[in-house]
Amino acid sequence: MAPAMSVSSLGYEVTSPNYKETELTLRLPGESRTQKSGTKRGFSERVETELNSSVGDSRGMIFEDDQLANEVISAAAKSPKSKAEVVGWPPVKSTRKLNKACKYVKVAVDGAPYLRKVDLEMYNSYQQLLTALQEMFSCFTICNYLNERKLMDPVNGSEYVPTYEDKDGDWMLVGDVPWEMFVESSKRLRLMKSSEAIGLGSSEDTFKNAQAKVVEEAFNYSAQ
Amino acid sequence: MNYFPEEVLEHVFDFLTSHRDRNAVSVVCKSWYTIERFSRERVFIGNCYAISPERLIERFPRIRSLTLKGMPHFADFNLVPHDWGGLVYPWIEAMAKSGVNLEELRLKRMVVSDEGLELLSRSFANFKSLVLVSCEGFTTDGLAAIASNCRFLRELDLQENEVEDHRGQWLSCFPDSCTSLISLNFACLKGEVNLAALERLVARCRNLRSLRLNHAVPLDSLQKILAQAPQLVDLGTGAFVGDQNSESYHKLQSSIQKCTSIRSLSGFLEVAPCCLDSIYAICLNLTSLNLSYAPGIHGSDLIKLIRHCRKLQRLWVLDCIGDKGLEVVASTCKELQELRVFPSDPLGVGHAAVTEEGLVAISFGCPKLHSLLYFCQQMTNAALITVAKNCPNFIRFRLCTLNPVIPDPVTSQPLDEGFGAIVQSCKGLRRLSLSGLLTDQVFLYIGMYAEQLEMLSVAFAGGTDKGMIYVLNGCKKLKKLEIRDSPYGNGGLLKDVGKYETMRSLWMSSCEVTLGGCKALAKKMPRLNVEIIDESGQIGVNPDDDRQKVEKMYLYRTLVGPRSDAPEFVWTL
């Protein structure tokens, strides 16, 4: 094992970051590091961590007893998504989680044979929601034209306007109210074909402009 | 010992209530065994697959109260597939057939069906108490059967169960003649209940001591209920939202003030903080407060509330209380014995949580603390060492860092020394859960010092098989060991196979054990069920490839061999 490390009297030494050497692998005692027999369980993949930022740069840790595996955690970006991928961590009963953050609403798309469900609590903004919807109904791309929040199906060129049903049973345009208020009050979503949404304003352009303005304001408001 | 007539011995045994004492007494000699088995009324079975209903009834024909536990603990965190097992129906059926005079059934992590509840309600004329904790598989129809048919029901306690709500009228099924309820807890139910029926039920059950409502019970119903039940000792509110300036809110305040016996408070499933004024009157006498389902109470409202609760012994809160809030707890709640701090943001998307500072403050302020469950952003060895010094009386110490492998942020060291200090100082420690960056060293300490340890939970530990071996060798009283995502393999698993017969169970998931290792273990130890959970079907495809890793293994001692209800994805080797 190469390295530029010496063991001090305390047995601990800071080394310069050497990611490959210090990469965490799991193996039975006695196996050498060179043997990559698929023992790596995806542990570091599964839980990508970074040393607490207050520590500063990443450090390698060597343990005095060289019979202990020289395992170190390499710094990697910590993203909420990687945490979410670890099943059952943190260990909290599902009855607790449901109570807190779980707002599943149905999503209907005009013309689609079945509906989907999304958990609005998973997102922090309209943009994230639309991105997720785009992924879910993968035929769409987000059409950010004129700052509007619309989804477009590039195949047939029709545009979809995201709308939602609020607590009073009214169908509203997505984007008018601050994000948190929207999450609170929406019961279900519908991606409505633009052609149907028109008819609310006097002319298509006026309507679009009005929409764009409203959505932009909402975006600014919720970004505060 | 044969000098005493049986009746005298039986009378003496009556004073033995703990099942451990009774178990001890039953192995003294044959005659004591016989006398004890005919006089035992309460039986506790920690693993429903360790014994069969038939053998239970044969040994204890006079049983009146049965406590059963089913799925392994990690089922709480979705690590055990649906349909794994743990059905209670065969137990109910067997007892019904044998004419057992069952009065109480307490279940944890079991699958309960409506048919089972129906059978239960019809088979035992004196049935009095049903307690279901973390169970699933039933609906409100099953509850309706219990309400309708159990004429002497005293206790219906539903804690954190997954219950399908059929929006029926289960609560209305309690007949007008039912006046015996002492405890009713339906906080975990998601659906509506008939409020008028609830109010009438409370009014006629004059002995009602404990009442925990679900979110569907609004504030004005609560007011009417409290007006009828000022004798309550334990209250779980439903939704606590109302208009501070209304007539009904003022009525509520005066009703609450009359409830001078309330010692335990929970709920606030939905809450308008301005309404909290009404409960300050009862805070002074509270010994137990559970706000862990109340994310609506935080910040200064939460602190203000806590400042009123000087006699608290048990506190469950969310981590939005923050370190500062815990300092307030430390200075206010000098009698605190149990603290649980739950994460309000399990996915950790950048919310303030608590850190080692809060825990250290608690340890200085609350020397009587003996039970802890603490979800935190980070922990340091220095803090744990301080806590160990301040609170040597820990019986349960469960620490969960939101990042499971986080080291000490100050020193970058693993948390071995900190947890080592805990086990060394807390000589009575019975339950321990570890997290953070860990090596074999911490397990060396645990094996050396944790003499009373009965349950150990390990997740994402580092090190080698040595760690597991230290624990198995050292902890003489170990009963349950559960390990996930740690580097222990066949070396650790097979080192001391005899140990597992002294334990209730071992769970290992995402470790390094192989199919071959598990097979070897099963072969050596016929009185263990070594179960492999093969969700992906991979093992089924290559059952002879002994080198493949076993994703989930659960083994337990048993007197009745492999279970007959194992689903197809469970292999008993």
Smallest CA-to-CA distance from B55 within B94, B28, B108, B88 is with B94
Mean pLDDT across B40-45? 95
Using the predicted structure, report yes or no on whether residue A73 has a pLDDT greater than 70.
Answer: no
- Cβ distance B77 to A89 less than 8 Å, yes or no, reads yes
Contact of A220 with A127, CB cutoff 8 Å: no
Contact of B140 with B170, CB cutoff 8 Å: yes
Q: Residue written as tokens 């399990």?
A: B346
Using the predicted structure, report yes or no on whether residue B346 has a pLDDT greater than 80.
Answer: no
Smallest CA-to-CA distance from B149 within B189, B119, B184 is with B119
Q: Residue written as tokens 């086990």?
A: B423
Q: What is the DSSP letter of B412?
A: -
Which residue would you say has higher pLDDT here, A139 or B399? B399
Q: Which of A104-113, B207-216, B345-354 has the highest mean pLDDT?
A: B207-216
Please list the helix, strand and coil fractions of chain A in percent, rounded to the nearest 5, in that order.
30, 15, 55
Q: φ and ψ at A171, to 5 degrees?
A: -95, 120
A28 to chain B, closest Cα gap in Å: 7
Smallest CA-to-CA distance from B525 within B533, B513, B517, B535 is with B517
Instruction: Provide the H-helix boundaries in B28-179.
Output: 30-39, 53-59, 89-97, 114-123, 140-149
Kindly report whether the global pTM for this prediction surpasses the value 0.95: no
Mean pLDDT across B282-302? 92
pLDDT digits (tens, 9 = 90+) for B255-288: 999 999 999 999 998 888 888 989 999 999 999 9
The reported pLDDT for the residue numbered A193 is 83
Using the predicted structure, report yes or no on whether residue A2 has a pLDDT greater than 70.
Answer: no
Using the predicted structure, report yes or no on whether residue B321 has a pLDDT greater than 60.
Answer: yes
Who among A39, A41, A51 is closest to B412 (CB)? A51
Q: Residue written as tokens 């080198």?
A: B547
**Cα B85–Cα B131–Cα B234 angle in degrees, nearest 5:** 145
Using the predicted structure, report yes or no on whether residue B392 has a pLDDT greater than 90.
Answer: yes
Smallest CA-to-CA distance from A190 within A219, A169, A159, A161 is with A161
The reported pLDDT for the residue numbered A157 is 64
The reported pLDDT for the residue numbered B269 is 87
Rg, C-alpha atoms of chain A: 25
How far is residue A27's CA from residue A13's CA, in Å, rounded to a whole number? 24
Smallest CA-to-CA distance from B513 within B495, B499, B531, B493 is with B493
Q: Chain B interface, mutation test: which of A54, A62, A74, A87, most B Cβ atoms within 10 Å? A: A87
Who among B409, B460, B464 is closest to A52 (CB)? B409
Contact of A167 with A187, CB cutoff 8 Å: yes
Question: Which residues does chain A have within 8 Å of residue B491's beta carbon, measured at their own beta carbons?
Answer: 28-29
Mean pLDDT across B191-217? 95
The reported pLDDT for the residue numbered A207 is 52
Instruction: Label residue B247 by pLDDT band (50, 70, 90).
Output: confident
Mean pLDDT across B372-384? 97
The reported pLDDT for the residue numbered A9 is 43
Q: What is the DSSP letter of B256?
A: H
Instruction: Label residue A87 by pLDDT band (50, 70, 90).
Output: confident
Instruction: Provide the H-helix boundaries in B346-407.
Output: 356-365, 381-390
Label each residue of B260-300 as H, E or C. CCCCEEECCCEECHHHHHHHHHHHCCCCEEECCCCCCCCHH
Question: Which residues does chain A have within 8 Å of residue B412's beta carbon, measured at their own beta carbons?
Answer: 51, 55, 59, 61
Smallest CA-to-CA distance from B133 within B101, B153, B109 is with B109
Minimum mean pLDDT range among B60-69, B401-410, B535-544: B535-544
Q: Which of A67-71, B86-90, B163-167, B271-275 has the highest mean pLDDT?
A: B86-90
Question: Which residues does chain B have within 8 Å of residue A97's beta carbon, measured at their own beta carbons?
Answer: 346
Burial class (CB in 10 A: 0-12, 13-18, 19+), B281: middle
Who among A49, A67, A97 is closest to B405 (CB)? A49
Instruction: Provide the H-helix boundaries in B15-139.
Output: 19-26, 30-39, 53-59, 89-97, 114-123
The reported pLDDT for the residue numbered B334 is 97
How far is residue B544's CA from residue B242's CA, in Å, rounded to a whole number? 65
pLDDT digits (tens, 9 = 90+) for B415-444: 999 999 999 999 999 999 999 999 999 999
Whole-complex ipTM: 0.88
For A200, the token pair is 């609310």
Mean pLDDT across A185-206? 68
| β-pair type (B104-108, B183-185) | unpaired
Determine the distance from the C-alpha atom of residue A64 to the mean position of all C-alpha atoms in its chain, rounded to a whole number.
40
pLDDT digits (tens, 9 = 90+) for A161-193: 889 998 888 888 988 888 878 888 888 999 888
The reported pLDDT for the residue numbered A125 is 77
As a whole number, the mean pLDDT across chain A is 60
The reported pLDDT for the residue numbered A155 is 58
Contact of B461 with B434, CB cutoff 8 Å: yes
Contact of B312 with B335, CB cutoff 8 Å: yes
- Cβ distance A41 to B510 less than 8 Å, yes or no, reads yes
Contact of A13 with A62, CB cutoff 8 Å: yes
Which residue would you say has higher pLDDT here, B424 or A106? B424
pLDDT digits (tens, 9 = 90+) for A41-58: 333 434 443 333 333 333
Q: Residue written as tokens 């044998």?
A: B98
How far is residue A140's CA from residue A124's CA, in Å, rounded to a whole number? 21
pLDDT digits (tens, 9 = 90+) for B223-238: 999 999 999 999 999 8
The reported pLDDT for the residue numbered B444 is 98
Using the predicted structure, report yes or no on whether residue A221 has a pLDDT greater than 50.
Answer: yes
pLDDT digits (tens, 9 = 90+) for B484-495: 999 999 999 999
Q: Chain A interface, mutation test: which of B71, B73, B77, B514, most A Cβ atoms within 10 Å? A: B77
Q: What is the DSSP letter of A121?
A: G
Rg, C-alpha atoms of chain B: 25
The reported pLDDT for the residue numbered A153 is 63
Using the predicted structure, report yes or no on whether residue B514 has a pLDDT greater than 80.
Answer: yes
Question: Coil, helix or strand for B146?
Answer: helix
Mean pLDDT across B512-532? 96
The reported pLDDT for the residue numbered A48 is 40
Share of chain B above pLDDT 70, in %: 98
As a whole number, the mean pLDDT across chain B is 94
Looking at chain B, which residue has its C-alpha nearest residue A72?
B462
